[in-house]
Amino acid sequence: MSIIYTPEKKLFTLHTAGSTWQMKVGRYGHLLHAYYGKKVEDMDLSCLIREMNRGFCGVPYEAGEERGYSLDTLPQEYPAFGVGDYRTACLHAVHEDGSQAAELRYVSHRIYDGRYQLPGLPSVRASRTETQTLEILLRDKSSELEVVLYYGVLEQADVITRACRIQNRGKTPIRLLRALSCCVDLPDGNMDLITFHGRHAMERNVQRTRIPHGRLSAGSTRGTSSHQSNPFVILCDPDAGEDWGNCCGMTFVYSGNFLAEAETDQTDQTRIVMGIHPDGFCWTLEEGDTFVTPEVILTFRPDGLGPLSRTLHDLYREHLIPRRFLEKRRPILLNNWEVTEFDFTEEKLLSLAESAAGLGMELFVMDDGWFGERNHDKSGLGDWTANRAKLPSGLRGFSEKLRNLSMKFGIWIEPEMVNEDSALFRAHPDWCLQVPGRSPNLERCQLVLDLSRQNVRDYLFDCISKVLDESQASYVKWDMNRNLSDVWSAALPASRQGEVSHRYVLGLYELMERLTGTYPDILWEGCSGGGGRFDAGILCYMPQIWCSDNTDAVERTRIQYGTSFGYPICAVGAHVSAGINQQTGRQVPLETRAEVAMAGTFGYEMDVQRLDASEQEQVRRQIQNYIRFEHIIRLGDYYRLTSPDTDETLAAWQFVAKDRTESLVSIVALHPKANPPFRRIRLKGLEEHAVYRIDGEDQVWKGSALMYAGLPVPPLWGDYQSCHFYIRRL
């Protein structure tokens, strides 16, 4: 049993393979948090919920003289605003009389096998035997507002998931100004929060901050999960590192506005909450209405950030990313974006594709520019029919010609967007998000379609289906090239405008569900100007996401390093691009560009017709290598061997097959030095007593030698050289 209720103590205990979560109904009915951490056997830990009169900390009315029973200091499962807990809250409700208070108390609970349902939202998948659910019903003491807390325990996967359903059982409306998904209250202070910040073309930089007194938040109000901040954070001990220390990952399964907010409170306890960002959010619950929050995945590891990442990677592969993609190798593709941008003809693309096929590539992706009047980024979005000037034989004819070259066909779309200069906008100017009487903020000359509207979604479903039927595409890159602003929907009354951002995301999920469900054999890749929507929500529909518009291999080592903390390598879209990089002008050897792209889905985005004979040979070899190793990359364990924050000279990472019989180690020189110190790299994840051989070498190694003594790094002379070692157990 992974969920245990002890009635005499009103104690709930949740066990995963390696962690325990415990909570207790307090003597006045509040749901108090007792413990989250390394697995503890059969023990009532509610002694950790301590009471002390702290002064200036009020108590619930009935507690009277029990001045230590203060919601201001007690650890809670789902804190609400307005009744004496001044820390960051999960719930902020406004009643019809204008009062802003909710004091949630335990009513009942239910434990069952299988998963709770979150209608319209993506979430972790698991069979009835893999998971149990605990539902706890809380009710506001003085109104008919109810909250059902969901706890999903995936014992073997070693995670707990949380979400909740907020319901109005009364007759008068309730407005929700904040409806977050979860709270973790820990008794210790002095903890670190690791967040992943960035910008376009430089996503998921790792930032580690001591959680201060006062609030520390990461979040997005951009309508998407964003380049600037990622909906994944890690709470950890100040001394936690790759292979040691307590850490707790929190992943938000959502692609829109989010908030992860932590604080150290007045008595040095730590609180962290996660959910939809309250800025601009206002959701009205009429009589009988419910609001369901997105899911948070909680992962606890007592042994460091590396194990935390690997637990998450496994979870994504087993329980989040559609399974049908995990079992297959992804095709090696050529994408034309960095080669041609908008300037291409069918002839040009076919000759590129022919050269690519000759090198061993399997899929040709026609990126932006194939439709409507799309000759630059100022027009055409919304008009999803082939531009006959560029594609005289249309999508059907073009893809047939590709197939005759033994190439599969992939296509780029950006369904959520419209240019003012498009037939779609001229026909339906009210279909986009904008505020009447205001000129909307423009990004890349485009506006966002109002996906909260069913008719807009139906239109998009029909025209994208037509594109897919006609083109017989086997891969689709779903892009999204701006943030939301001027969020206002012509289809909703004034009182409901605070719901639009979330309704947009629900609409997006519905459209993704319909399209990916109707075309399950298509390989879908998410994208938002690179990694602007790299999140667990998208990965529930699409197995991979274009990681960044920055294809500079050296910069990518940092971006992919940061991404690997929360996301599996099989989800990371990575391509080999031109010798002089388009984003930075840096020159990186072809071998190194491929080495870095191998830590992802692997493809090319360069003019393969300009390769000389020896480069062509290199590319052929790279493709063969990738095909040889990709099962370890897609299915194996990933180890970060260096950190860009502490190592300016090398970047190294390692894949190890689950049965530890094979491993691939990649090393990239970031900064060649004169008269350099000798370096060795200590490998990880091998079997200590097993004997391994490095491909191409006669010497054999014990696993322990590779892991504890380390592998000597060969001299890497010149800019950004790289090498890899393929290691096999004998």
Q: Which stretch binds ligand GLA (CB under 6 A): 180-188, 252-260, 525-533, 683-691?
A: 525-533
Catalytic hit among 237, 303, 377, 615: 615
Could you confirm whether 535 is annotated as catalytic? yes
Q: What token pair was written down for 558?
A: 């940092």
Site for ligand GLA contains 364 (CB under 6 A):
no
Nearer to ligand GLA, 376 or 728 (CB): 376
Size of the site for ligand GLA (CB under 6 A): 11
Q: Which stretch binds ligand GLA (CB under 6 A): 189-197, 230-238, 526-534, 607-615?
A: 526-534
Nearer to ligand GLA, 528 or 721 (CB): 528
- Rg, C-alpha atoms of the chain: 27
Site for ligand GLA contains 481 (CB under 6 A):
yes
Nearest residue to 276 via CA among 291, 257, 262? 257
Q: Which of residues 451-480 bind ligand GLA (CB under 6 A)?
A: 479
In the complex, the smallest distance separating the C-beta of residue 341 from ligand GLA, rounded to whole angstroms, is 8
In the complex, the smallest distance separating the C-beta of residue 255 from ligand GLA, rounded to whole angstroms, is 16
The beta-strand segments (E) located in 602-658 are 603-605, 637-640, 650-656
Q: Which stretch binds ligand GLA (CB under 6 A): 122-130, 399-407, 527-535, 714-722?
A: 527-535
HSE-CB at 21 with a 13 A cutoff on CA atoms is 29
Site for ligand GLA contains 344 (CB under 6 A):
no
Surface-to-core class of residue 701, CB atoms within 10 Å of its CB (0-12 exposed, 13-18 middle, 19+ buried): buried
What 3 state SS string does 334-368 have?
Answer: EECHHHHCCCCCHHHHHHHHHHHHHHCCCEEEECC
In the 8-state DSSP scheme, what is residue 707? Answer: I
Of the chain, the end-to-end C-alpha distance in Å amounts to 40
Q: How far is CA 143 from CA 95, 130, 139, 281, 401, in A?
A: 9, 37, 8, 22, 66
In the complex, the smallest distance separating the C-beta of residue 356 from ligand GLA, rounded to whole angstroms, is 17
Could you confirm whether 615 is annotated as catalytic? yes
Q: What token pair was written down for 165?
A: 């359903």
Q: How far is CA 207 from CA 218, 235, 303, 639, in A?
A: 11, 12, 20, 19
Q: Which of residues 397-456 bind ligand GLA (CB under 6 A)?
A: 412
For ligand GLA, the nearest residue by Cβ is 368
SS3 721: coil
In the complex, the smallest distance separating the C-beta of residue 549 from ligand GLA, rounded to whole angstroms, is 5
Site for ligand GLA contains 529 (CB under 6 A):
yes
Site for ligand GLA contains 367 (CB under 6 A):
yes
Nearer to ligand GLA, 159 or 527 (CB): 527
Helix 454-471 to helix 394-404 angle, to the nearest 10 degrees?
Answer: 40
Site for ligand GLA contains 544 (CB under 6 A):
no
Q: Which of residues 592-631 bind ligand GLA (CB under 6 A)?
A: none
Q: Which stretch binds ligand GLA (CB under 6 A): 114-122, 397-405, 522-530, 694-702?
A: 522-530
Nearest residue to 266 via CA among 215, 194, 195? 215
Would the CA dihedral through 552, 554, 558, 563 be positive or negative?
positive
In the complex, the smallest distance separating the C-beta of residue 105 from ligand GLA, rounded to whole angstroms, is 49
Quick note: the x/- pattern for ligand GLA over 290-329, rule CB under 6 A, is: ----------------------------------------
Rounded Cα–Cα distance for residues 476 and 512 (Å): 12
In the complex, the smallest distance separating the C-beta of residue 537 from ligand GLA, rounded to whole angstroms, is 18
Site for ligand GLA contains 549 (CB under 6 A):
yes
Binding test (CB under 6 A) with ligand GLA, winner from 368, 383, 420, 637? 368
One-character DSSP codes across 162-210: EEEEEEE-SSS-EEEEEEEEEEEEES--S-EEEEEEEETTEEEEEEEEE
Rounded Cα–Cα distance for residues 618 and 636 (Å): 25
Q: What token pair was written down for 650?
A: 């090398």
Q: How big is the CA angle at 172 (ends 171 and 178), to the nearest 5 degrees?
A: 125
Binding test (CB under 6 A) with ligand GLA, winner from 527, 590, 598, 619? 527
Q: Which stretch binds ligand GLA (CB under 6 A): 71-79, 380-388, 429-437, 524-532?
A: 524-532
Site for ligand GLA contains 337 (CB under 6 A):
yes
Q: Which residues in this chain contact ligand GLA in the complex, by CB under 6 A?
A: 337, 367-368, 412, 479, 481, 527, 529-530, 546, 549
Catalytic residues: 535, 615
